[in-house]
């Protein structure tokens, strides 16, 4: 019998690694202790254990590195499986220490690094990718690269300013869509007849455009408004909950579980409630911005364009909150009515063509802040007359509100689309 069993060595190695991770998480700067433990001593001890196991047991290996089956053959040996585990512990801890030191050089708040370090501890490469994304976001926001990018655009575009933090958050959402697309391509699992990764992908793209729209509109408000609590609200109280919501949806998709209406457990009910609170937080923001752009001290622009921004943002706030509240309180989810077995739906969006679907009005409401300003810009380019343009804008905005209301009422009455089906 070995003086130290493989199980003992496994427990000892795991505890050493946890000690290093606790030092990174709880003592990131204290007298260099975490750097010594996590960057040198503990990885060295784990590497020594790995070396001994390989030296003693490699000759008995039945597999190789030439194929997946060959690697599986290697890990069929318990000593070599333990060696692989120590390899994982040593290099992930070393990577965690490197990530922490880089984050300190970039002056990234440690509170933001805690979830990154935890991801590195549990899923090494995912934590590394999360750090690269976070580091890139901070560099983009701090080094004014957004402004430099705009300077290279066509002559009329640099006049449009982008709020850097909202812009970086939008780019981060688009970056998250890349692994989601790959997951969609390789994962054949479905949830309720739909590929499990379609929902997080749609949310990532939608949220990216939502944040980018706010990033474009916020600088049009005055500096005075942006320093008020309402102006400041449009940044972090929007970014944080909206990103957490997307991450939650992606996590549920990875488990092939419902993200919305998931109250099967206490944890699920709590998370769904928090998800609703977050949705209210980032849906209120367009209302504040509508007020900021309606003020006399906002940036000079054609009146048609100004009031199209105000109308679009206001409609998003009102209908987003109203339809969201009805969605959240619906006992039957986003569908209203008896769902037939063959269930026809609008391609990509998935809106029901057979029964009521509250998501239609919710979509119209949330995207009013993009649709109405686009129409307002077209009206200004076509008419160039303030009075006629404002009248046309009023008619369009009223019609948009009426159509959204009809879609909402039709869904509540279990009728598809606008009640025409």
Query: Among the listed ranges 119-133, 183-197, 224-238, 346-360, which one has the minimum average pLDDT value?
Result: 346-360
Of the candidates 223, 220, 235, the one whose C-alpha atom is nearest the C-alpha of residue 307 is 220
Higher pLDDT, 89 or 269: 89
Residue 223 has pLDDT above 90, yes or no: yes
Q: How confident is the model at residue 154 (pLDDT cuts 50, 70, 90)?
A: low
User: CB-based contacts of 133: which residues, under 8 Å, 6+ apart?
Assistant: 172, 175, 176
The Cα-based distances of 408 to 305, 326, 397 in angstroms read 27, 9, 17
Q: State how far the Cα of 171 lies from the Cα of 169, in Å rounded to an integer.
A: 5
Residue 148 has pLDDT above 70, yes or no: no
Pairing assessment for the beta strands 356-357 and 194-195 based on DSSP bridges: unpaired
| Mean of pLDDT over the chain | 88
**For the whole model, what pTM was predicted?**
0.80
pLDDT, residue 396, reads: 95
């Amino acid at each position: 019998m070995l003086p130290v069993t493989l199980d003992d060595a496994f427990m000892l190695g795991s505890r050493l690694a946890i000690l290093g991770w606790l030092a990174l998480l709880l003592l990131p700067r204290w007298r260099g202790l975490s750097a010594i433990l996590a960057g040198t001593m503990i990885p060295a001890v784990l590497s020594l254990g790995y070396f001994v196991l390989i030296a003693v047991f490699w000759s008995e290996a039945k597999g190789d590195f030439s194929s997946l089956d060959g690697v599986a053959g290697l890990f069929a040996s318990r000593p070599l499986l333990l060696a692989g585990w120590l390899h994982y512990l040593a290099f992930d801890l070393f990577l965690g220490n490197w990530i922490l030191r880089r984050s300190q050089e970039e002056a990234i708040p440690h509170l933001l690094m805690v979830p990154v370090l935890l991801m590195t501890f549990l899923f090494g490469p995912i934590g590394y990718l999360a750090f690269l994304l976070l580091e890139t976001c901070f560099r983009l926001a701090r080094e004014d690269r957004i402004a430099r990018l705009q300077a290279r655009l066509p002559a009329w575009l640099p006049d449009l300013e982008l709020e850097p933090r909202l812009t970086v958050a939008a780019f981060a959402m688009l970056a998250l869509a890349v692994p989601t697309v790959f997951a969609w391509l390789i994962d054949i699992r479905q949830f309720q007849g739909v590929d499990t990764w379609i929902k997080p992908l749609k949310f990532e793209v939608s949220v990216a455009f939502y944040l980018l729209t706010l990033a474009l509109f916020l600088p049009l408000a005055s500096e005075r408004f942006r320093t008020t609590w309402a102006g400041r609200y449009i940044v972090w109280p929007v970014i944080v909950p909206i990103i957490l919501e997307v991450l939650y949806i992606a996590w549920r998709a990875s488990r092939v579980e419902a993200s919305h209406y998931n109250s099967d457990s206490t944890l699920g009910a709590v998370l769904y409630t928090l998800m609703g609170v977050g949705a209210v937080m980032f849906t209120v923001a367009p209302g504040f911005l509508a007020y900021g752009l309606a003020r006399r001290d906002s940036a000079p622009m054609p009146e048609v364009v100004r009031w199209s921004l105000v109308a679009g943002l206001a409609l998003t706030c009102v209908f987003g909150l109203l339809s969201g509240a009805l969605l959240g309180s619906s006992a039957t989810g986003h569908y209203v009515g008896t769902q037939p077995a063959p269930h026809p739906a609008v391609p990509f969006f998935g809106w029901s063509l057979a029964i009521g679907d509250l998501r239609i009005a919710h979509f119209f409401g949330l995207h009013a802040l993009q649709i109405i300003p686009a129409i307002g810009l077209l009206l200004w380019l076509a008419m160039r007359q303030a009075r006629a343009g404002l009248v046309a804008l009023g008619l369009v905005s009223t019609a948009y509100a009426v159509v959204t209301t009809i879609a909402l009422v039709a869904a509540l009455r279990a009728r598809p689309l606008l009640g025409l089906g």
